[in-house]
Amino acid sequence: MLRLHNGNGGIFIPDGTEPEAALRRTTDLCIAAHQDDVEIMAYGPIAQCYEKDDRWFAAVVVTDGAGSPRAGRYASLSDLEMQKVRVREQVDAARLGKYAAVLQLGYPSAAVKAAGDGLCASELRDIVRLTRPDTVYTHNLADKHDTHVGVTLRVLEALRPLPPEERPLKLYALEVWRGLDWLPDGSKAVFDTSPYPELAADLLRVFASQCAGGKRYDKAAPGRRLANAAFFSPHHVDSMDSCSYGLDITPLMIDETLRPGAFIGRQIEALRREITGRIGRME
């Protein structure tokens, strides 16, 4: 059975299934930096797995959440008290979303951002080996939160050494602290977030320490999804009410010679060419 490295980590199985069996049924695995990142960036996969018998969503939250901003009734909480609140909120979200499991690893952000340590990547590798998901979701490399980008790099360190038969089929990078509407349309992976709108709202409201504590993610995340759907195409009627964007970074998992910075740089360059090309055609 999987044993977590940090003593403040934990595994929660909402339906009470034996832990190893619960983890092995996972088809869709989200690896996120903080409590609530999963529900902000991966609601599309959550909805696709919700109450399905053949698809199960599981979440890994890498950090302890100690450094989160706080206000209102949470303003006076210590880092340790805030950690406990955020762990409980993530458990409540897993229960509400009927996840296969949620694993909270309890690393400090500094450890996740540090290159060369290897411990976090090794633990993530063990989790992927046990869960064997078809698809893994994590943060995007253009995200402006250092810890988010650190998690993505640790995910790549975890997956690259695995033999092909133990790797997921797909690895997607999703949007939190920078939207991905800037990606050229041909590069966008589009996730329908229209199903179960009440569930989508309830999952975000679970995180009261953030939403009532100065960060209205419960309004901002659904607003971004609505905007993504409305502004996706200027020439076609909307096919979805709500959607989120991702970038397929599977090539970074398969080819260790690809540099993450260069990979995302090519997308930025493609955007530059698209914009300047459009202007040039009409000058």
CB 139, CB 176: distance < 8 Å = yes
* Percent of the chain at pLDDT exceeding 90: 81
What is the per-residue pLDDT for 74?
76
Residue that is written with structure tokens 């690393």 in the block: 107
At 85 the pLDDT is: 87
Q: Is 68 helix (H, G, I), strand (E, B) or coil?
A: coil
CA distances from 122 to 112, 116, 146, 208 (A): 12, 11, 20, 32
Contact, 56 vs 23, CB < 8 A?
A: no
201 versus 215: which is more confidently predicted?
A: 201
Q: pTM, whole model, 2 decimals?
A: 0.95
Q: For position 139, what pLDDT does the model report?
A: 98
Kindly write down the DSSP assignment for every residue of 241-268, as one continuous string.
S-EEEEEE-HHHHH-TTS-HHHHHHHHH
Q: What is the pLDDT of residue 116?
A: 81
pLDDT at 8: 86
Q: What is the pLDDT of residue 234?
A: 82
Residues 103-123 have a mean pLDDT of 92
Place of tokens 């299934």: 17
Q: What is the mean pLDDT of the chain?
A: 94
User: From CA 109, how far away is CA 98, in angstroms rounded?
Assistant: 27
What pLDDT digit, counting tens, does each position of 165-179 carry?
999 999 999 999 999
User: What does the alpha-carbon distance between residue 83 and residue 92 come to, in Å, rounded to a whole number?
Assistant: 14
Neighbours of 111 (CB within 10 A): 18
Q: List, for residues 59-81, the tens digit of each pLDDT value.
A: 999 999 877 776 777 777 787 88
Q: What is the mean pLDDT of residues 220-244?
A: 91
Report the distance separating Cα 131 and Cα 102, nearest Å: 12
Q: For residue 213, name the pLDDT band (cuts at 50, 70, 90).
A: low
Q: Quickly state the pLDDT bin for 270 (edges 50, 70, 90).
A: very high
Which CATH code is given to the segment(s) 10-257? Answer: 3.40.50.10320
Residue 28 bridge partners (DSSP): 57, 135
Given a cut of 70, is residue 1 above it in pLDDT?
Answer: no
- Model pLDDT, residue 68: 74
E strand or H helix at 104: strand 101-107
